[in-house]
Chain A
Amino acid sequence: MSEGPRIGKDEWVARAGENIARNRLLRLFDRIPGWARLLAFVVGVALIPLITDDGYINAVVFDTLIFCLLAIGLNVVVGWGGLLDLGYIAFFGVGAYTYAILSSEKFDLHLTTPVVMVIAVVLGALLGFLVGLPSWRLVGDYLAIVTLFVYQIFISIVTNGHDLFGVDLTGGVNGIANLDPFDFFGLQIPVSHEGIFNSNYVYVALAVFVAVFVALYLVNHSRIGRSWRALREDTLAAELMGMPTDWLKLLAFAFGAAVAALTGSLFASLKVGVFPETFSLTLLITVYAMVILGGVGSQTGAVLGAVAVYVFLEALRDPDVSGWVFYVSIVLALLFLVRPRWMVAIVLAATAAFGFVVHAVVGAIDDSWTAGAPPDSDRITRLLDSWVAIPANPGDAKTLAYVSLVALLLFVTTLKGVWRWAALVPTLYLAAFVWENVLSLQPDVTRFVLLGAMLVGVMVTRPSGVLGEHRVEIV
């Protein structure tokens, strides 16, 4: 018999299951040691300001690092502790306001940033303990609702904080402006340098990120992290195996809160001011999307999710990019979903033909229906110019088209066989029409729609996120 591990039937099944869950690319990624991945990330980020002095790009890199920090902090509570914390962004806000109060003209306090950060971390951790208290009695959605109210309390306090028992603490809706730039014991880093974003902020954020990432990694690979995972799996069993679960839950909350507060103070050091509306529910949902997309419980996954989602969202501000994303993802979706494959070619060809006919007919009836200027004369739009009808005055047609697109989509799902393919052709054309006439004109709304579509796509193919462990709830 050959050497090496003997594999029984159970193991063979388990291994096969793992192989199905993790494709070849991911298994290759698994084989790279953790420190090498971190090093590659750090070097990659550190090089960006050297390659380009474009202020916008460097600002995006800084914000991406902020989101990475928020995501790995949230991963402690949600991924490792298994506690659904919807008040998370409140701690981010607490950190930012701590900075604003202690380091601005507001109270004429100008503490050095490292000191502010320490105060923010301590304050965040203490508040985390407090918010974690309901987790002794509540689990899952019940805990989520209670923590959501904590977030609401935070928003109420900061919005009405201009008259807190007669003291103006937070400046109310106007927030606190004129914040000091990052200050390292007297060494100041001005926010902008000759009118463009100071790329030194990227290095500050990167340093904070590495410190937090490594610290969290080490905690996770210790008896504390192990017991967090145990209590996520089965709280009662963890308690009965000698783990003080109540304390461990508070510790998870405090860790998440401390990371969020630290991130908040770093975030504020760059901004001119802090305002209540910065800490919106959209921000909370975005951070959750990052953690879920990357794979709940995986620290690397959280970072990957943060980078993917934030860069994606930023890129989609540009109508050119979002156009490409829209059309390419439709073709990809067809390739994945339509069987047999040659049917894709037929559907696309039919759609193209259908478009030219519609364009010609509509143009012949009324010139103004094809006279509309494309929103941006990038390549796709020019290509589509004689295909998609773009009315000069769409008016109600926009709404009508949008509603009928939704109706058609629902209709297509009820059809079977050849009728489905036939109905798909006008649906696709209508989708392009809606995109060119409605969606591409509002990139701020559309980018979230596209992000949602991307999330649905990824989560359907990988339910536990990109790097998430294949998890079993009940066997």
Chain B
Amino acid sequence: MSLLELQGVSMAFGGLRCVDNLDLHVDAAEILSVIGPNGAGKTTLFNLITGVYEPTDGDIVFEGRSIKGLSPHRITQRGIARTFQTLRLFLNMSVRENVMAAAYGHTKAGVLRSILRTPGMRREEQEIRELAEQRLAFFGERLTGYRWDQPAYSLSYANRRRLEIARATATNPRLLLLDEPAAGMNPKETQEITELISQLRDEAGYTILVIEHDMHVVEGISDRVVALDHGVKIAEGSFDEVATNARVVEAYLGTGAAERK
């Protein structure tokens, strides 16, 4: 059974159908890439899965249960976490706090226990702290040590992208949605992030759905690729199958491009 299944999902803003009758499934422990030209509906797809938008039609099923209509924080608590194409870190909080904050969904201490500083609350706080440091350690030395207490705004662009991934993993997800993880990175950093995404699956065990424009990254990581255009799935399969698909080439390069090639 698939981990995530979209069944005939549509999203319309007034007359504009950004996602149109889309069927999509993500199997456990796979890396699925979504590609498509600008405005194809990729980020809308992420917003639908994470509950930012409620689909106008169809159903979204995660681990056998429908998550349609749940508020975003409930969906995250069910086990889906994401990063953002335009980074959305808590800029004025420290690196460690950014990650600790994301542990909210699976921790319990309420107002009263916080004021009374019960042993359970202290233990939980300690656990969140260790969890955050461990998640940050996944990225080697870049986000550890003296960086823990620095505000997120002091990080470089590439490190902010890494911090976003660390923050998403602190929600203890099973499915990780990465929205253009390699955007704005130089070739060396892109190479690193490619390896890192594979590690996230192989070592940490996350299932990953990724939107990416850099075809080298897509080729390097994907088990399967789905191509979208105007909210419709135009191709699905291995990277080679999709990359040579006539409709995909047409979507990117325009009508007739496939023939001329």
**Complex CA–CA separation, A238 to B154 (angstroms):** 20
> Does B114 lie at the interface of the complex (its beta carbon under 8 Å from any beta carbon of A)?
yes
User: Among the listed A7, A221, A227, A246, which residue makes an inter-chain contact with B101, where contact means beta carbons less than 8 Å apart?
Assistant: A227
**Complex CA–CA separation, A317 to B235 (angstroms):** 78
> Does B115 lie at the interface of the complex (its beta carbon under 8 Å from any beta carbon of A)?
yes
Given contacts A219-B114, A230-B90, contact A241 B145 (CB under 8 A): no
Kindly list chain B residues whose C-beta atoms are within 8 Å of the C-beta of A241: 73, 76, 81, 101-102, 104-105, 167-168, 170-171
A-B interface pairs (CB < 8 A), number: 122
Kindly list chain B residues whose C-beta atoms are within 8 Å of the C-beta of A242: 73, 76-77, 81, 102, 104-106, 171
Q: How far is the CB of A469 from chain B (nearest CB, A)?
A: 7
Chain-A contact segment, one of B10-18, B92-100, B253-261: B92-100
**Quick check: B153 and A472 within 8 Å, CB to CB?**
yes
**Quick check: A226 and B50 within 8 Å, CB to CB?**
no
**Quick check: A240 and B82 within 8 Å, CB to CB?**
yes
**Quick check: B105 and A472 within 8 Å, CB to CB?**
no
> Does A243 lie at the interface of the complex (its beta carbon under 8 Å from any beta carbon of B)?
yes
Kindly list chain A residues whose C-beta atoms are within 8 Å of the C-beta of B110: 224
**Quick check: A243 and B104 within 8 Å, CB to CB?**
yes
User: Among the listed B84, B101, B147, B168, which residue makes an inter-chain contact with A243, where contact means beta carbons less than 8 Å apart?
Assistant: B101
Mark each residue of chain B from 65 to 97: 1 if its CB lies under 8 Å from any CB of chain A, else 0. 000000111001100011010001111110001
Per DSSP, are chain A's interface residues mostly helix, strand or loop, or mixed?
helix
> Does A475 lie at the interface of the complex (its beta carbon under 8 Å from any beta carbon of B)?
yes
**Quick check: A10 and B155 within 8 Å, CB to CB?**
yes
User: Among the listed B73, B100, B109, B168, which residue makes an inter-chain contact with A239, where contact means beta carbons less than 8 Å apart?
Assistant: B73
- Size band of the interface chain B makes with A: 35 or more
User: Among the listed A7, A221, A238, A244, which residue makes an inter-chain contact with B146, where contact means beta carbons less than 8 Å apart?
Assistant: A7
> Does B111 lie at the interface of the complex (its beta carbon under 8 Å from any beta carbon of A)?
yes
> Does A414 lie at the interface of the complex (its beta carbon under 8 Å from any beta carbon of B)?
no
Q: How far is the CB of A231 from chain B (nearest CB, A)?
A: 9
Kindly list chain A residues whose C-beta atoms are within 8 Å of the C-beta of B147: 11
> Does A183 lie at the interface of the complex (its beta carbon under 8 Å from any beta carbon of B)?
no
Kindly list chain A residues whose C-beta atoms are within 8 Å of the C-beta of B81: 240-242
**Quick check: B111 and A219 within 8 Å, CB to CB?**
yes
Q: How far is the CB of B192 from chain A (nearest CB, A)?
A: 17
> Does A251 lie at the interface of the complex (its beta carbon under 8 Å from any beta carbon of B)?
yes
Q: Which of B209-243 contact A (CB under 8 A)?
A: none
**Quick check: B125 and A222 within 8 Å, CB to CB?**
yes
> Does B121 lie at the interface of the complex (its beta carbon under 8 Å from any beta carbon of A)?
yes
Given contacts A222-B109, A223-B128, A251-B111, contact A11 B93 (CB under 8 A): no
Most buried by B among A10, A227, A229, A475: A475
**Quick check: A223 and B151 within 8 Å, CB to CB?**
no
**Quick check: B93 and A233 within 8 Å, CB to CB?**
yes
User: Among the listed A229, A237, A239, which residue makes an inter-chain contact with B97, where contact means beta carbons less than 8 Å apart?
Assistant: A229
Most buried by B among A10, A215, A234, A237: A237
On A, residues with C-beta under 8 Å from B are 5-7, 10-11, 13-14, 215, 218-219, 221-227, 229-230, 233-234, 236-246, 251, 469, 471-473, 475
4 nearest CB pairs, A to B: A242-B105, A222-B114, A14-B154, A5-B146
10 additional contacts (CB under 8 A) given A7-B146, A223-B104: A222-B125, A224-B109, A230-B101, A236-B88, A239-B73, A243-B101, A244-B73, A471-B92, A472-B92, A475-B91
On B, residues with C-beta under 8 Å from A are 50, 52, 71-73, 76-77, 81-82, 84, 88-93, 97-98, 100-107, 109-111, 114-115, 117, 121, 124-125, 128, 145-147, 150-151, 153-156, 167-168, 170-171
